[in-house]
Structure 1
Amino acid sequence: MELDKAYQENVNDLYRYLFSLSKDHFIAEDLVQEAFYRAYLQLEDYEISNIRAWLFKVAYHAFIDFQRKNKRLIIQDQIEERGNLSMETPEKKLLEKESFQLLLNDIHSLKEQERHVLLLCDLHQLKYNEAAEILNMKVNTLKSHLHRGRRKVMERVKERMMVDE
């Protein structure tokens, strides 16, 4: 598969994945560019059967390298919604944005492995074996992290709902 085609098919998903990790629009854009640069350098050296999973793995490693390099907490200023539905009111958009922000905050309060597994499997809908390959873990370990992460996020959502009532 040509890198141009892979770029067109996966750039938005990689951006959303990296944005959910970094919580910063500009960092996510830079990391997408870095991921595709790395992919360009390595694409000829590998026989890749699943380009999508491989690109997510490259993006994951680009994020980890960035995080190690900066060793600082990345704080999100704002989330930019990309969908423009004509039936949405500004109030509804704001509430959805706040809800999504609260959910991301809940996810980011998890342990690192649980957070990565939850983002890959639930938010980006990768298959278990693809996510396990990206994170270099066994599928059963991934499932355990996913189960624990989902349970913790649901507990936090339920607690927040009880406080709001």
Structure 2
Amino acid sequence: MSVKIEDVYRMHMNEIYRYLYRLTGDSGIAEDLTQDTFIQALRFLDLYVEGKVRPWLFKVAYNTFIDWYRKRKRENRLAPSFENVQNEMSLGYQSPEENILSKEIWETFAKIISIFPWKQRQSLLLFYAHRFSYDEIAGVLDISLSDVKIAIHRGRKKLKESWGSEEDA
């Protein structure tokens, strides 16, 4: 059974865009990186052995982001941040009140994790925002399963501590 890029694109384009938007904080850059992700996926889709396409596609998106980030860093521009990230997590219907509450929660989450170390930030983002399993996160980030578990455990502790201080402010 062959996987078609059109089907993969239709199924995962919005989610890949949201992930890249959260990483960059810029909709234009996220659109460009989403396009680059699917161009790379098209080039290597024939080599991809059947399995879970979603984690593989996130890995392609993450590597596309890293390439862009390194290029940007070389050009001495500001690093991307999680500031001013819009809440696009929910795919289902929400009332206006629920939508505002979700947006506030996401903004607080994004603000707090923006200062976390790289592994914790990426692991928490993939785990909570994209509902990846530990194994899938390890595959996307090219780190060991134990590193993912440690990063999420420590990140949760920091998140819990920081969230409390965020509410006190």
TM-score by length of 2: 0.85
Letter in 1 for 2:45: L
Inter-CA distance 118–76: structure 2 relative to 1 (3 Å threshold)? closer
Query: Retained in 2: the 8 A contact 1:48–1:54?
Result: no
**Do residues 122 (structure 1) and 124 (structure 2) align?**
no
Task: For residue 102 of structure 1, report the CA deviation from its aligned partner.
Answer: 2.3
- The aligned counterpart of 1:12 is 14
> Secondary structure at the residue paired with 1:35?
helix
* Correspondence for 1:35 among 10, 34, 37: 37
Unmatched segments (≥5 aa) in structure 2: none
> Secondary structure at the residue paired with 1:9?
helix
Query: Retained in 2: the 8 A contact 1:117–1:142?
Result: yes
> Secondary structure at the residue paired with 2:35?
helix
- The size of the alignment, in residue pairs, is 161
Letter in 1 for 2:23: L
**Do residues 140 (structure 1) and 142 (structure 2) align?**
no
> Superposition pairs for residues 34-53 of structure 1, below 5 Å?
34-53=36-55
- The aligned counterpart of 2:24 is 22
Structure 1 residue ranges, 4+ long, deviating more than 6 angstroms after superposition: none
- The aligned counterpart of 2:159 is 153
Query: Retained in 2: the 8 A contact 1:32–1:59?
Result: yes
Q: Percent identity?
A: 32
Unmatched segments (≥5 aa) in structure 1: none
> What root-mean-square deviation, in Å, do the aligned CA atoms of Structure 1 and Structure 2 show?
2.2
**Do residues 97 (structure 1) and 103 (structure 2) align?**
yes
Inter-CA distance 81–147: structure 2 relative to 1 (3 Å threshold)? closer
Query: Retained in 1: the 8 A contact 2:82–2:110?
Result: no
Mapped partners of 2:141, 2:83: distance in 1:
27
Task: For residue 101 of structure 1, report the CA deviation from its aligned partner.
Answer: 1.8
Query: Retained in 1: the 8 A contact 2:124–2:155?
Result: yes
Mapped partners of 1:95, 1:149: distance in 2:
22
